[in-house]
Structure 1
């Protein structure tokens, strides 16, 4: 092997894994988040939610940081546009869901991830009071939703899924933001499996995919996604509209 080939060869164990499986940096943070979320099924009762939220948030963040150097170029943040579109997205999430939930034909079971009963909502004021425990929880809950979740979801859904649906063999050669009708529809609908409010989840993902095709920037999507979650969860705490905790 010549010198240049040796320099180009993966140098660490993780380098070698990513070289062999280019999808790993895109999938690992998301799967870590889902796996740690599934841990909650083994613990009944609202008293477990604070540490379960902390576990999945920290776990997904650590894995994201481990793979960060393998992420594709993230692009520009487009801050002002992100703020405006986050306001639009937050309003969409709240008012579209409330409209659907008010319809007589809307499914009232949780089979499709619809609303829990009010008695099952997690009211952090009732569970934690209004002291330091509440503020620690809100930092983790809102901070995780505003920082960690956007990184994990954007890298997976728009960095990986949209491209692997175009070329499953060499997805990494597909330019970020490349459009096909098939990938656009499948990715938008598949996201509903992750979000409890499936109807607005599909609509929001359709909207956000269009924005990604426009700007072709993962960082823009992360910032807008994070701001949307921050605004939505701030609304939840302010108005005590716990149906939007998820």
Structure 2
């Protein structure tokens, strides 16, 4: 009986110790959690890391835009109306059609083309790329010397082309020169109208008369004097070398006097 009581007494001791230890451990855990939570609350707030600057909270209050001072008013320049000045230019003040600047000035100021500057088909002529205006009487003086043997066919083609561009109201004459003589295409000593009939007649005579055959030297003096007697407005002189060479050479001063 006593032994059973001793056994019971022995079991109660460890149980008491176990309960005591458990209670102490629980109290310690509760104290730890309380202390840890207090320390955590008193610490600094964690830093917020944002990816871009515009995602951070704006703490400043909105500020109204600053009022700028008014711009000073500038006085507008006063426009003064100028009366147009009329420039009177006489049409007859142009001495020559070649005065291109005067012609342009007249057109710009008056709006009219001077009568002398108006080109008229019945007064124009072109030969070998050379133009002439205000020419109603034209004389062609062509070299028929031996130096033109290889070129005369080409020259005659250009001569016919120039004649075909003339107006019927224009007049023409043709003179060839070789050595010291002039060969006139009929009618001799006068000009004829530039009609198709007269042009065909002149070209046929040149091709079939056997009078225009390149030979001898080149001396245009006689032909030029004959051309001047026809009182032309323009003379077309075509030659490979109008002064000639060797015994056929013509002095320059004598050529200019002609």
TM-score by length of 1: 0.22
Q: Which has the higher strand share?
A: 2
Q: Which has the higher helix share?
A: 1
Greater relative contact order (Cα < 8 A, sep 6+): 1
TM-score by length of 2: 0.21
